[in-house]
Amino acid sequence: MSIRKITTIVEEILHEGGHAVEPTARIAVVAAVVDNPWAGRGFVEDLSAGIDENASDLGALLAPRVVEALGAPIEAFGKAAIVGLNGEIEHGSALIHTLKFGNHFRDAAHASTLLPAVEKRAAAGTTFDIPMKHITDATIRSHHQTIEVRISDAPHADEIIIALAASAQGRPQQRLASLSTER
């Protein structure tokens, strides 16, 4: 696996809706810009070799970094795969939609739910939103949130951005009723 760069973003929200956020809301993203293992090979019918060679290593690299960057217990999480223009969306999906990748983050977060995801093909500098949900119960509305990410020089045409996002809480100032209250 060839990694060109790793980008870490930590956002701290101090005020929302004109009120202080107590405690401060924290979200972290760690993104690796990697060579697309299938780029330049034409249509690859069986993606399993590239998955086996890369997915677990990417999960093992990113999961502890996002935990460290967040600096607090994870309550919500998500993932992303942004494929450069010479690749297929399926190339990004192949790397992130496997337990070989996701279990590293689930284990690090003490999570039991599936990771919500965004995948798309895009030019360098595109903006993408990583969706996040609660780590043990995807129906907890307070933790349905997104973080906007942009890496100015990635992905190149033959690269993929693989990213993990983690939040130490739900949305700042959330005040929606529990899903169980609706009929």
What does DSSP assign to residue 141? Answer: G
User: Positive or negative CA dihedral for 17, 18, 20, 26?
Assistant: positive
pLDDT confidence of residue 175: 84
Question: For the chain, what is the domain count?
Answer: 1
Distance (Å, whole) CA 31 – CA 155: 11
The residues near 143 (Cβ < 8 Å, ≥ 6 apart) are 75, 76, 132, 133, 134, 167, 169, 170, 171
pLDDT tens-digit series, residues 94-145: 999 999 999 999 999 999 999 999 999 999 999 999 999 999 998 899 999 9
- pTM for the model stands at 0.95
**Hey, which residues does 163 pair with through a beta bridge?**
31, 80
Domain interval for residue 105: 3-181
Residue with tokens 């004109």: 18
pLDDT tens-digit series, residues 150-161: 999 999 999 999
Sequence-ordered strand ranges (E) for the chain: 3-16, 19-35, 76-83, 117-121, 127-134, 145-150, 159-167
- Does pLDDT of 5 surpass 80? yes
Distance (Å, whole) CA 43 – CA 178: 46
What does DSSP assign to residue 102? Answer: H
User: Positive or negative CA dihedral for 48, 34, 156, 127?
Assistant: positive
Distance (Å, whole) CA 2 – CA 5: 9
Neighbours of 159 (CB within 10 A): 26
CATH of the domain at 124: 3.30.1330.110
Question: Which amino acid does the sequence have at 167?
Answer: S
Q: Is 121 left (phi over 0), alpha (psi -120 to 50) or beta?
A: beta
pLDDT tens-digit series, residues 59-107: 999 999 999 999 999 999 999 999 999 999 999 999 999 999 999 999 9
